[in-house]
C-alpha cells in the first residue's frame, strides 16, 4: 500500500482494536482462540488490527519465532475475510519493541507478513534520549511507515516533550501517532505538535486514551498557524479498550462522524462517555493502577466465551483480587457496550 493511501484510510476514521494474545493454561498459544479473536474483530467491522502491541503482551517480543507466527495468523485471517467478502483487506499495524536492531528486525517480520504500518513502542529503550528515539523511528521507517506512540508511564511509557513530537512529525515516513498518556496535558503536547506541523494533513491522530475516548473523538482542535486557520479532529482510535465491545466501538465512531457532519453533539452521545469509562475501569483495573489491564481484557473475553483463559506470558500480568467480579458486573450493567448479544450469537462460528 502506498503511504498516501494508508494515510487516507487512517484519516477517514478508524476503529483499530489492539489484538490480545490467547494462551492455554501452560502458556502456549491457543490458536483456536487466537483466530476467534481476529474473526470477532473483522466481523465487528473494525477498520484494522494492531498486533504485537501492549495488549498482545510485550513479552511476546522476546521470541521472534512466536511473534512472527502471531503476525502471520492475524494477516491470514484478514486476507481470508477480505477475499470472502470481496473487499479490500483491513489495515494491519504491527507493534514493535527493542533497540534499533531488534525493532528493525521486527518491522521486517511484519513487512514479510503483509503489514501496512508499524506502531513504535518504547520497550527496550530505557535511558535513551529523544534524539536516539527519533533515529530509531527513522530506521524503522525504512521498512514500513510508522506511527508514534505516547504510552502512559504506569505500563511502561515515559514523558516526551512537545519538541520531540514536532521533530518526529518531520520524519517523512511517520504517518501519525497514537496518544495514550492518559493525561490531558501530554495529549495536548502531541496534538499541538501535529497541528503546527507542515505535514499536518499527512498525519493521522489516533486516540489511545481509554479514559477519554468519547471526548477525544468529538473534540475539534483549532489553531492558527502562519495565518492559516486549522482544525484537527481525532481520526479514530487504536485501543486496548476496543479489544472488547468492538462492534459497539464501530457504532460509536459512526455516531461521532455523523455528529461532526451535523455540527452538534447530542447529550445521548455525551452520555456514552461515563458508561465506556465504567467498562474500562473494570477491564483495565484502574483501582490498582492498571496492574491487571492486560489480563483484564483477556478475562472479559474469557467470560464471554471467545477465549479459554486469561493467562498471560508473564507471572506479573494477572488479575487483581476481585477484578473478575467487576468485569462480570459491567457485563451485566453495560451489555451493549460489551457486545454481549453479538458475541453470544457468533462465538461458536468464530471458534470453529
Question: Is there a domain that residue 220 lies in?
Answer: yes
Position 97 scores a pLDDT of 96
Alpha-helical runs (H) found in the chain = 3-11, 31-44, 64-85, 100-112, 130-141, 162-168, 184-196, 213-218, 246-262, 267-284, 293-303, 323-333, 340-350
Question: Is there a domain that residue 200 lies in?
Answer: yes
Question: Is there a domain that residue 169 lies in?
Answer: yes
What span, in angstroms and rounded, lies between the C-alpha atoms of 38 and 34?
7
Whether 149 contacts 190, CB under 8 Å: no
pLDDT band of residue 178 (cuts 50, 70, 90) is very high
Percent of the residues in the chain that have a pLDDT greater than 90, as a whole number: 96
Position 276 scores a pLDDT of 97
DSSP classification of residue 50: E
Residue 210 cell numbers, joined: 481509554
Domain count, the chain: 1
Position 212 scores a pLDDT of 93
Question: Is there a domain that residue 102 lies in?
Answer: yes
Whether 278 contacts 334, CB under 8 Å: yes
pLDDT band of residue 155 (cuts 50, 70, 90) is confident
What span, in angstroms and rounded, lies between the C-alpha atoms of 340 and 328?
11
- When the pLDDT of each residue in the chain is averaged and rounded to a whole number, the result is 97
Question: Is there a domain that residue 201 lies in?
Answer: yes
Tell me the whole-structure pTM to 2 decimals. 0.97
- Please give the full DSSP string across 275-286, using - where no structure is assigned: HHHHHHHHHHTG
Whether 313 contacts 27, CB under 8 Å: yes
The three-point CA angle 27-210-185 to 5° equals 125
Question: Is there a domain that residue 268 lies in?
Answer: no
Position 301 scores a pLDDT of 99
Question: Is there a domain that residue 317 lies in?
Answer: no
Residue 256 cell numbers, joined: 461521532
pLDDT digits (tens, 9 = 90+) for 159-168: 999 999 999 9
Q: If 0-12 CB within 10 Å is exposed, 13-18 middle and 19+ buried, where does residue 261 land?
A: exposed
Domain carrying residue 196: 3-262
| 3 state DSSP class of 59 | helix
Helix axis angle for 340-350 and 31-44, nearest 10°, is: 130
Position 157 scores a pLDDT of 82
Q: Indicate which CATH number applies to the domain containing 137.
A: 3.20.20.70
DSSP classification of residue 58: G
- Say yes or no to pLDDT of 154 above 90: no
Whether 115 contacts 75, CB under 8 Å: yes
DSSP classification of residue 181: S
Question: Is there a domain that residue 208 lies in?
Answer: yes
- Say yes or no to pLDDT of 106 above 90: yes
Radius of gyration (Cα) for the chain, nearest Å? Answer: 19
What span, in angstroms and rounded, lies between the C-alpha atoms of 305 and 296?
14
Q: Which residues contact 105 (CB under 8 A, 6 or more apart)?
A: 64
What span, in angstroms and rounded, lies between the C-alpha atoms of 105 and 140?
9
Position 153 scores a pLDDT of 81
How large is the average pLDDT for residues 126-147?
A: 97
pLDDT digits (tens, 9 = 90+) for 304-320: 999 999 999 999 999 99
Amino acid at each position: 500500500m502506498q503511504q498516501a493511501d494508508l494515510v487516507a484510510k487512517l484519516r477517514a476514521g478508524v476503529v483499530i482494536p489492539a489484538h490480545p494474545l490467547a494462551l492455554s493454561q501452560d502458556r502456549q498459544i491457543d490458536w483456536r482462540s487466537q483466530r476467534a479473536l481476529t474473526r470477532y474483530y473483522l466481523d465487528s467491522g473494525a477498520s484494522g488490527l494492531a498486533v504485537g502491541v501492549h495488549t498482545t503482551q510485550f513479552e511476546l517480543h522476546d521470541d521472534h519465532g512466536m511473534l512472527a507466527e502471531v503476525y502471520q495468523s492475524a494477516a491470514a485471517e484478514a486476507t481470508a475475510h477480505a477475499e470472502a467478502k470481496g473487499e479490500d483487506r483491513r489495515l494491519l499495524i504491527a507493534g514493535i519493541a527493542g533497540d534499533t536492531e531488534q525493532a528493525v528486525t521486527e518491522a521486517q517480520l511484519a513487512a514479510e507478513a503483509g503489514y501496512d504500518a508499524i506502531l513504535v513502542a518504547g520497550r527496550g529503550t530505557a535511558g535513551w534520549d529523544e534524539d536516539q528515539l527519533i533515529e530509531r523511528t527513522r530506521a524503522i521507517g525504512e521498512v514500513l511507515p510508522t506511527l508514534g506512540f505516547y504510552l502512559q508511564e504506569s505500563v511502561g511509557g515515559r514523558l516526551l516533550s512537545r519538541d520531540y513530537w514536532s521533530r518526529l512529525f518531520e520524519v517523512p515516513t511517520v504517518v501519525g501517532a497514537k496518544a495514550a498518556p492518559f493525561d490531558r496535558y501530554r495529549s495536548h503536547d502531541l496534538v499541538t505538535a501535529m497541528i503546527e506541523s507542515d505535514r499536518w494533513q499527512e498525519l493521522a491522530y489516533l486516540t489511545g486514551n481509554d479514559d477519554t475516548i468519547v471526548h477525544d473523538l468529538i473534540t475539534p482542535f483549532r489553531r492558527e498557524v502562519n495565518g492559516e486557520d486549522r482544525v484537527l479532529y481525532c481520526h479514530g482510535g487504536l485501543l486496548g479498550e476496543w479489544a472488547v465491545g468492538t462492534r459497539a466501538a464501530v457504532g460509536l465512531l459512526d455516531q461521532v462522524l455523523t455528529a461532526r457532519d451535523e455540527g452538534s453533539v447530542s447529550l445521548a452521545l455525551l452520555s456514552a462517555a461515563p458508561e465506556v469509562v465504567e467498562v474500562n475501569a473494570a477491564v483495565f483495573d484502574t483501582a490498582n493502577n492498571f496492574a491487571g489491564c492486560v489480563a483484564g481484557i483477556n478475562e472479559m473475553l474469557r467470560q464471554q466465551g471467545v477465549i479459554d483463559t486469561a493467562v498471560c506470558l508473564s507471572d506479573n500480568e494477572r488479575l487483581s483480587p476481585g477484578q473478575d467480579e467487576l468485569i462480570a458486573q459491567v457485563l451485566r450493567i453495560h451489555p451493549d457496550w460489551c457486545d454481549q448479544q453479538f458475541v453470544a450469537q457468533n462465538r461458536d462460528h468464530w471458534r470453529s
